[in-house]
Amino acid sequence: MKLINLIECNKELAQIEITGVTCDSRAVKPGFAFVCIVGSKSDGHDYATAAIEKGAAVIIAERDLGLPNQITVSDTHAAFSGMCANWFGNPAKDLKLIGVTGTNGKTSVTYMLKKILEGQGFKVGLIGTIQNMIGEEILAAQNTTPNAYDLNSLFALMKAKGCTYVIMEVSSHALDQCRVYNLDFEAAMFTNLTQDHLDYHITMENYLAAKKKLFGMCKTAIINSDDDYAEKLAEGLKCKVVTYSATDNSTYSAKAINYKPTSVDYEFVSDSCINHVKVNTGGKFTVYNSLCALSCAVELGFNISEAASSLKELNGVKGRAEVVPTGKDFTVIIDYAHTPDGLKNILNTFRECEKNRLVAVFGCGGDRDKTKRPIMGSVAARYADYCIVTSDNPRSENPAEIIKDILVGMDGTPTPYKVIENRIEAIKYAVATAQKDDIIVLAGKGHETYQILSTGTIHLDEREVVAEALAEKK
């Protein structure tokens, strides 16, 4: 492909034949365009010379590096996204994109909406945390929102395989780094905003500003009006704005909510309709997630009765309030809750159930926002009857130091707890000491089947660990 077809450039460079586009100097091959991305840990400009030596035909940078065939742009993140879209023939323009952003609930909302749209006969692509999907075909996912090259590659594949809609989780990192630059969304949904990723965004204001970028790229914004940040998010938006609420009157509201341990049902109410909704997952968060998905479906022009009927057929999402079969007189739940609000939601959901003890097994990730660790400890102590504090993904940090940070929030609380640093041993202890009618919540890992340690990544599927513990339990 000619360079002029990838990025605006002068006549001298326009006809250079480009054989590939990358922002990773290790992936450069002869004829490639290398884009110098400034990351949180490294600066691509430092690798531009190495890229030339490997045969890069052109360098795209934010400053003059004194190299041949260089194009200088104001933002290489945006330039890279645009070039990747052009490289794949701008496939997103032939797809109807729907985005969902927020701290918690993104994955569940995407799966719910996918089920609804498939019930209308459409082939749907899904891009998200757990996995990517083309209809029922499953593709591995590395990031919640892939980098621009992988994202456009996915769009091209989804288009080729007949997808009409693509529903995607859009992370704050992706928005801040222009991974979804210049995309047009039919609708964008906002679930909530609570403390997370402050190691990257530094302040909640920056975090919100990143999320808000999505709503400058859509035709319709669907906003959770019960969230504390809803008003700030909606302020100044030029697109159509609708809201949903589980506590008040809104564009779309949930009324007469009935909570059960493994399901919720309510009346979906708007100015034009009232329809009964049942979802096969428990918890207040399920009301919000399903209400969000249904509100979006109605805004897209679909019948609420048919949408609710499709949603009733969805039997949960892996790692989201997932009930693990035990064959015993106690219950084990696996959930991705890794933020204070997420942990509060999952524990509060099962706290309301008929039970003996609510046991929380949890930790916090390393190399991430340290300020939320004592908050997580405080939340667990407040909502659980017994806590087992362990490791999550410690990454390069010392697990014991992470646990010390968590315990600061538990000091002085009456809730008993035990520290077991090894997560496998912590889970086995929880199962081994389980009492009749206990509910054990394994929080933080959810769908993940690995653990990231300072020594590398190991296999850790909590379902397998529970099965082993049950086999050992007398």
pLDDT tens per residue, range 358-403 = 999 999 999 999 999 999 999 999 999 999 999 999 999 999 999 9
pTM score, whole prediction: 0.83
Q: What is the DSSP code (8-state) at residue 470?
A: H
Confidence of residue 454 (pLDDT cuts 50, 70, 90): very high
Buried b (16+ CB within 10 A) or exposed e, 53-78: ebebbbbbbbeebeeebbbebeebbb
> Which H/E stretch holds residue 200?
helix 198-201
Q: Radius of gyration (Cα) for the chain, nearest Å?
A: 24
**Higher per-residue pLDDT: 458 or 145:** 458
pLDDT at 197: 63
Q: Identify the residue whose tokens are 């290489």.
A: 76
- In sequence order, which residues have a C-beta less than 8 Å from that of residue 339 and are 6 or more positions away? 103, 104, 194, 195, 196, 372, 376
Res 143 pLDDT > 80: no
| Span 251-270, average pLDDT | 92
**Higher per-residue pLDDT: 35 or 207:** 35
Exposed / middle / buried, residue 418 (Cβ in 10 Å: 0-12, 13-18, 19+)? middle
| Span 322-349, average pLDDT | 91
CA–CA gap between residue 24 and residue 87 (Å, rounded):
16
Confidence of residue 159 (pLDDT cuts 50, 70, 90): very high
| Span 160-187, average pLDDT | 92
Of 58-72, 101-115, 346-360, the least confident: 346-360
What confidence tens digit (pLDDT) does each residue in 107-119 have? 999 999 999 999 9
Count of CB atoms situated within 10 Å of the CB of 457: 11
CA–CA gap between residue 364 and residue 228 (Å, rounded):
24
How much is the mean pLDDT over the chain?
A: 93
**Higher per-residue pLDDT: 320 or 433:** 433
Retrieve residue 143's tokens.
């990031």
Express as a percent the part of the chain with pLDDT over 90: 81
CA–CA gap between residue 26 and residue 469 (Å, rounded):
43
pLDDT at 284: 87
Question: Among 143, 93, 135, 91, which residue's Cα sits nearest to residue 117?
Answer: 135
Q: Which CATH superfamily is domain 91-312 in?
A: Mur-like, catalytic domain (3.40.1190.10)
Confidence of residue 337 (pLDDT cuts 50, 70, 90): very high
pLDDT at 18: 97
Res 410 pLDDT > 90: yes
| Span 74-79, average pLDDT | 95
Residues recorded for the chain: 474
Question: Among 23, 155, 29, 144, which residue's Cα sits nearest to residue 76?
Answer: 23
The three-state secondary structure class of 365 is coil
What confidence tens digit (pLDDT) does each residue in 273-306 have? 999 999 988 888 899 999 999 999 999 999 999 9
For the chain, give every domain's residue range: 3-87, 91-312, 322-472
Res 142 pLDDT > 80: no
Domain 322-472 class?
Answer: alpha beta
pLDDT at 80: 96
Count of CB atoms situated within 10 Å of the CB of 161: 12
Q: What is the fold of 3-87?
A: 3.40.1390
Backbone φ, ψ for residue 101 (5° rounding): -135, 160
Confidence of residue 198 (pLDDT cuts 50, 70, 90): low
